[in-house]
Amino acid sequence: MGVEKGDVLDEARRFDESCRLVVEVVEGGAGFSKIDCCGNELSAEDIVDAAADVDRSDLDEKEIIIDESKNNPESCGLKIKVQGGGAGLQSITCCGNELTVEKDAV
């Protein structure tokens, strides 16, 4: 099951022991499969109502954009904004592509 623009995934929703990764889908996402973070696997099951469920006080000021189309132009163009947490972010799988981020960026 994919994700769509505006969806917010919150690692803490199901995983108390986590780095509290929160990401927002900026665009694309029809081919989204999962996010691996802190040994946890996030899926579309982790979509939350951002206005109600995400505790913004725990989020970092720094936002990181991960753009699938930079290295995979034939993809569905998933673009995700990391809004907080993410120290344990390992990869994002979408359209069969594995997206990663430099360790110092998150």
Q: Tens of pLDDT along 6-27?
A: 999 999 989 998 999 999 999 9
Owner of token pair 């900026």: 26
- CA–CA dist 15, 48 (Å, integer): 14
- What global pTM score does this model have? 0.84
- How far CA 38 is from CA of 2, 7, 64, 95, in Å, comes to 21, 21, 18, 22
- CA–CA dist 106, 87 (Å, integer): 6
* pLDDT tens-place string over residues 21-79: 999 999 999 999 999 999 999 999 999 986 555 555 555 556 789 999 999 989 999 99
82 Cβ partners below 8 Å, 6+ apart? 21, 22, 23, 63, 64, 65, 66, 89, 101, 106
